[in-house]
Amino acid sequence: MRHLPFLGLMAAPFTPLNEKGDLNLDMVPLQANHLLKNGVKGVFVAGTTGECQSLTLQERMQLAQAWSVAAKGKLTFMIHVGHNSAREARELAKHAKSVGADAISSAAPCFFKPAAPADLVEFQAEVASAAPELPFYHYHIPLFTGVNGPVAPFLRMASKKIPNLVGVKYSHSDLSDLLECTILDNGRFEVLFGCDEMLLGAIAMGVRGAVGSTYNFAAPIYLEMMEAFEKGDVEKTRLLQEKSVAIVRLIQEFGGIPGGKALMGALGVECGPVRPPLHKLTKDEIQTLRDKFMVLSSISKLPNPHAV
């Protein structure tokens, strides 16, 4: 498949909900505008950060539709269609094509897990074939799927079965496997890195595109880091990655996705609460998080939540 690789940052947007826990799609255009202002080039919709496993099939389609309008002509638009049911994933893939997605991605099933790479290839081939015109990315995130093992052998095997396979969204810390993916078949496969706090290691291995949750509110740090790397300023890139690590640790302190949503609200883009079983932050927890983020903002190129 002829495909131009994605370069730059792709945010994994939070799914906006109201206080009742229903979709609040009026926020999607605000999210898109916020990302554009901060230099983000694309969106990875309905992934882990988007609470995909907590959404119904219809809600995922509604979310995709809303983003298709907000992203059109402005942001590269990739939709995660992964599902434990390959048939449901196929429906999401077909819908992604119908709303004009630029690409689709699918994580491995996480309940009944593939016992061997060939089983994973078979599953992903069934999903990808539902939208053969769209570039397909395997979504490797073993922390959540429990599907481990190196990705490079999967890509080698899958390339024979999935004509529209162009690469992998690599959300794992195995940098040796990551490197093998980037050089496999003379760089045939595109690798989008998904561990924000380790981006420096990935770009040092040739990665030029990344998908992450902290790009929703901290994109300037990463853009500056990537620019410094291209200029050969190793010390500056290291210091900027340290700031990224501090941000990620702060968000993790408040549950990851709940913390990220709280920060978006502080920046004027209210994404609401999370759905169970994720922990809904109290008002005091949200204020504590925002105060701590303000301290980081004062020493980093980040939007100041108190200036909104």
Q: Which residues are catalytic?
A: 139, 169
First to last CA, the chain: 44
What radius of gyration, in Å, describes the C-alpha atoms of the chain? 18
Q: What is the DSSP string of 21-45?
A: S-B-GGGHHHHHHHHHHTT--EEEE
CA pair distance 147, 150, nearest whole angstrom: 10
CA pair distance 286, 69, nearest whole angstrom: 31
Q: What is the 3-state composition of the chain as percent helix, strand, coil, each rounded to the nearest 5?
A: 50, 15, 40
Residues for the chain: how many in total?
Answer: 308
Q: What is the largest CA-CA distance in the chain?
A: 53
CA pair distance 275, 295, nearest whole angstrom: 28
Cβ(260)–Cβ(219) below 8 Å: no
Q: Where are the beta strands (DSSP E) in the chain?
A: 8-11, 42-45, 76-80, 103-107, 136-140, 165-170, 190-193, 209-212
